[in-house]
């Protein structure tokens, strides 16, 4: 509610303004009154009203003196002058002070209420504009930070930046990576088709990381996140890991019946070694296709230990032959496995069956044929031709006649599976690109809408805002906000040069609530104000004509 303060030395006038106008009905909080400027000033400082209504002629401190103090200490406060004097010098002095209204007495209650309500409406509108401006700035900064976080994580696990550069980048986005010990974990979650669940889980995991000192969460893949924990000692590192795992698993379960698999890398002591810790955790994560759901494993965990007796899908020769559990696991990898995991996955398949079983040529032929049929069926599901891959890797009929060792079978299945995953990724990429292109078209069509946001565009693509932001940066080379602002400023430039619209009208057409924010953004990008841009453009045109 807008707060109004009254400074008026005439008691009858003061009572009339206070009592004969229903300020509450007009949405105005009448927060105080005083009989002169000197009494009013400390009360104004305490109340911080949005509007001060003051007489000019008052004892001890007049309205103009009071207005000077208000303008200095509370520049956002609007000042309305009441005066029984119509001399020009008073009006001039008031205008120089930047008062909002100068009303001559006598003024009717109706007229006064209309003026105050109109000023209150403009204050509310400015507040909304400021809030929208702050939201835009926060979103822009947040997206830049996320972009830099993704870039930094890629550098951490690829080793393409020096430790010095990594620390500088981390410091620029508020991350303190200097520590004696580090540990990296990968958190995989089996989502359904509702991306809102994924968004909810990611938000909870991010909150969990933020609640721990020097623990940071990064996007890793479509169904996984990576967390980097730093510690002052091994004991501190272990305590943080335990706390994060406890919070993360509880958060995942709170969203719904979602299954998880968490892989922990070994602890390291240098930033450059995080790459090794990542590969350690990533290699271990390939076991998730064999493990019972909801497990936390490290590289020290033998694969056979993951296949507990109470595992609903244990792998052994008899059950693989009887109920197709091996095929179920293979199908799971075809849907969610990644190309770098392929060799480890196939190796784990053979390890899980036991060396004694894979020595049988008969069983190797059965295993290879069964896995081949599984992959061929999957290829047909996604609209691909198995024969195209067979032409590159080898025809199954020819291969079956030359399988003599487990290495032969493993090599063929690995090569074939890699080709299937490449085909799948290409197909998915095509579908994702269609959804992405649809979202970009949506942005291009609606970029002048004032409520256009990352969330709206992400929903159009059917992705969480984080995932869409990452894909947008990757595909477009700029962040979503940079693209949106660029489109708006491009339109503004066109309107400046081809119309006589005023700056605030152009701001409105370009999707800006606040013309001041529009001008500041324009100057930041173009290096000059909209007025200077128009003037220089016109001057250039006149020069060419001459």
For 132-153, write each residue's pLDDT tens digit: 777 777 888 888 888 888 888 9
Could you state, in order of their start, the residue ranges of all structural domains in the chain?
2-107, 179-308, 313-429, 431-545
Question: Does residue 381 surpass a pLDDT of 80?
Answer: yes
Least confident of 294-298, 318-322, 402-406: 318-322
Q: What count of other Cβ atoms lies within 10 Å of the Cβ of residue 328?
A: 14
Q: Between 47 and 539, whose confidence is greater?
A: 47
CATH class of domain segment(s) 2-107: alpha beta
The SS3 assignment for 281 reads helix
Task: Please list the alpha-helical segments (H only) found in 184-324.
Answer: 195-211, 234-255, 274-285, 303-306, 317-323
Q: Between 43 and 314, whose confidence is greater?
A: 43
C-alpha torsion sign, points 382, 384, 385, 391:
negative
To the nearest whole number, what is the mean pLDDT of the chain? Answer: 84
Mean pLDDT within 266-276: 92
- Residues 21, 24, 26: CA angle, nearest 5 degrees: 75
Which superfamily, per CATH, for 431-545? Homeodomain-like (1.10.10.60)
CA torsion, ordered 351, 354, 359, 361, to nearest 10 deg: -80
Check if 179-308 and 431-545 are the same fold: no
**8 A C-beta contact, residue 113 and residue 26:** yes
User: What's the whole-model pTM score?
Assistant: 0.62
Q: Give the single-character DSSP code of 142.
A: H
Quote the CA–CA distance of 167 and 270 in Å, as a whole number.
12
**8 A C-beta contact, residue 228 and residue 218:** yes
pLDDT at 248: 92
Which superfamily, per CATH, for 179-308? Reverse transcriptase/Diguanylate cyclase domain (3.30.70.270)
């Amino acid at each position: 509610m807008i707060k109004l303060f009254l400074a008026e030395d005439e008691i009858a006038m003061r009572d009339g303004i206070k009592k004969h106008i229903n300020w509450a009905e007009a949405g105005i909080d009448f927060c105080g009154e005083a009989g002169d400027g000197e009494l009013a000033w400390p009360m104004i400082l305490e109340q911080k009203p949005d509007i001060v209504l003051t007489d000019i002629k008052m004892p001890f401190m007049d309205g103009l003196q009071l207005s000077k103090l208000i303008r200095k200490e509370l520049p956002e406060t609007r000042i309305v002058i009441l005066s029984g004097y119509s001399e020009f010098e008073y009006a001039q002095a008031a205008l120089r002070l930047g008062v909002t209204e100068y009303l001559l007495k006598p003024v009717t209650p109706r007229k006064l209420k209309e003026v105050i309500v109109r000023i209150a409406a403009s204050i509310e509108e400015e507040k909304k504009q400021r809030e929208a401006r702050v939201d835009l700035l926060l979103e822009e900064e947040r997206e830049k930070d996320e972009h830099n976080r993704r870039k930094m994580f890629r550098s951490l696990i690829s080793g393409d930046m020096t430790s010095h550069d990594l620390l500088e980048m981390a410091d620029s986005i508020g991350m303190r990576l200097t520590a004696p010990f580090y540990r990296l974990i990968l958190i995989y979650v089996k989502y359904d088709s509702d991306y809102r669940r994924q968004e909810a889980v990611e938000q909870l995991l991010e909150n969990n990381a933020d609640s721990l000192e020097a623990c940071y969460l990064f996007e890793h893949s479509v169904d996984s996140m990576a967390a980097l924990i730093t510690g002052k000692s091994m004991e501190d590192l272990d305590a943080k890991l335990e706390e994060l795992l406890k919070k993360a698993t509880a958060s995942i379960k709170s969203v719904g019946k979602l299954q998880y698999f968490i892989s922990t890398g070994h602890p390291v002591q240098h930033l450059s070694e995080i790459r090794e810790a990542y590969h350690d955790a990533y290699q271990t994560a390939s076991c998730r296709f064999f493990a019972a759901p909801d497990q936390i494993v490290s590289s020290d965990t033998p694969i056979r230990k993951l296949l507990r007796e109470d595992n609903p899908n244990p792998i052994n020769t008899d059950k693989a032959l009887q109920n197709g559990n091996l095929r179920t696991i293979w199908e799971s990898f075809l849907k969610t496995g990644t190309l770098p995991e392929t060799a480890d996955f196939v190796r784990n398949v053979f390890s899980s069956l036991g060396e004694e079983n894979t020595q049988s040529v008969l069983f190797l032929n059965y295993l290879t044929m069964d896995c081949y049929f599984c992959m061929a069926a999957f290829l047909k599901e996604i609209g691909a031709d198995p024969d195209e891959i067979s032409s590159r890797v080898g025809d199954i009929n020819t291969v079956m006649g030359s399988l003599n060792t487990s290495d032969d079978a493993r090599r063929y299945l690995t090569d074939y599976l890699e080709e299937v995953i490449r085909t799948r990724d290409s197909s998915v990429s095509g579908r994702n690109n269609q959804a992405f292109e649809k979202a970009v078209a949506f942005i291009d069509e609606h970029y002048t809408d004032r409520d256009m946001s990352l969330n709206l565009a992400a929903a159009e693509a059917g992705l969480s805002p984080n995932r869409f932001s990452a894909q947008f940066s990757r595909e477009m080379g700029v962040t979503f906000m940079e693209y949106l602002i660029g489109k708006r400023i491009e339109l503004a430039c066109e309107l400046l040069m081809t119309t006589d619209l005023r700056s605030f009208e152009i701001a409105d057409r370009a999707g800006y609530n606040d013309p001041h924010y529009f001008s500041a953004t324009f100057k930041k990008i173009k290096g000059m104000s909209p007025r200077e841009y128009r003037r220089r453009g016109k001057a250039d045109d006149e020069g060419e004509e001459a």
